[in-house]
């Protein structure tokens, strides 16, 4: 439904979802014919997804804080330094 709301072309939707032209056409036709029902269901899905995200954020808050407080591993720090150097090269005017 996100693709429909954002007016993505059917070819893009087909490619992103690995569907056939017939499947995309059928889905878009169904959405057009049942727009109110589909949008209501879509809003329900978005609401439930947000509730789940909040639940798992709450469940994992302490773990995330614990991981964030740990010092980076030496290998990770070396990679981060290398990435920052490459980024600086890309962003610097030539």
User: In this predicted structure, what is the pLDDT of residue 77?
Assistant: 85
Residue 29 confidence (pLDDT) above 80: yes
Residues 22 and 45 in one domain: no
**Comparison of pLDDT for 2 and 75, the residue scoring more:** 2
pTM, two decimals, is: 0.61
For residue 82, the enclosing domain spans 35-94
Residues 10 and 20 in one domain: yes
Element housing 52 (H / E): helix 35-69
Residues 43 and 89 in one domain: yes
d(CA 1, CA 42) in angstroms, rounded, equals 7
User: In this predicted structure, what is the pLDDT of residue 4?
Assistant: 96
Residue 94 confidence (pLDDT) above 90: no
**Percent share of the chain, pLDDT over 70:** 99
Domain count, the chain: 2
Residues 51 and 91 in one domain: yes
Residues 46 and 3 in one domain: no
Residue 8 confidence (pLDDT) above 80: yes
User: In this predicted structure, what is the pLDDT of residue 54?
Assistant: 97
Residues 18 and 46 in one domain: no
18: left (phi over 0), alpha (psi -120 to 50) or beta: left
Residues 29 and 39 in one domain: no
Residues 27 and 59 in one domain: no
Residues 22 and 62 in one domain: no
Output DSSP code: residue 92: S
Residues 39 and 80 in one domain: yes
pLDDT digit string, tens, across residues 37-73: 999 999 999 999 999 999 999 999 999 999 989 988 8
């Amino acid at each position: 439904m996100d693709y429909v709301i954002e007016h993505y072309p059917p070819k893009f939707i087909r490619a992103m979802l690995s569907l056939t032209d017939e499947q995309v056409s059928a889905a878009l036709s169904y959405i057009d014919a049942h727009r109110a029902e589909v949008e209501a269901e879509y809003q329900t899905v978005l609401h439930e997804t947000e509730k789940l995200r909040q639940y798992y954020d709450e469940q994992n808050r302490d773990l995330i804080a614990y991981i964030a407080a740990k010092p980076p591993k030496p290998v990770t720090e070396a990679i981060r330094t290398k990435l920052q150097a490459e980024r600086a090269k890309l962003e610097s005017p030539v």
